[in-house]
Amino acid sequence: MPSNPHDIQHIGDAIQQLLKEYHLKPKFDEACVIASWEKIVGKPVARHTKNIYVRNKVLFIELDSPTLKSDLSFHKNQLLNRLENEFGKNVLKEIVLM
């Protein structure tokens, strides 16, 4: 328990500080992007997503539908903007559709 009541901080701030101190923030952000994929793109697109992962700030998305892959390729910039709005500009720099 803190000796000074002014040393109390919100749990969210404490977690963010902990993630920064232990250099875990990038991995945490990547996991959040993957976990939020369905919310960002919707159930129809998420159902056709076979694999999704992040490497070096590049989001790799493997789809089982060539038509959907083609459609998403036209909207990659919009999708990247939505992800940046949700998670910040430093989380991802590119999207690769496979």
pLDDT means per 10 residues in the chain (98 residues)? Answer: 69 85 86 92 94 94 94 92 89 93
The whole-number pLDDT of residue 53 equals 94
Q: What's 35's domain CATH number?
A: 3.30.300
Return all residues near 64 (Cβ < 8 A) that are at least 6 apart: 48, 49, 50
Q: 40 is in which domain, residue-wise? A: 26-97
The whole-number pLDDT of residue 2 equals 53
Q: Give a yes or no: residue 76 inside a domain.
A: yes
The whole-number pLDDT of residue 15 equals 85
Q: Give a yes or no: residue 6 inside a domain.
A: no
pTM: 0.80
Q: Give a yes or no: residue 41 inside a domain.
A: yes
Q: Give a yes or no: residue 54 inside a domain.
A: yes
The whole-number pLDDT of residue 5 equals 64
Q: Give a yes or no: residue 9 inside a domain.
A: no
- State CA 41 to chain mean position distance: 12
Number of structural domains found in the chain: 1
Q: Give a yes or no: residue 45 inside a domain.
A: yes
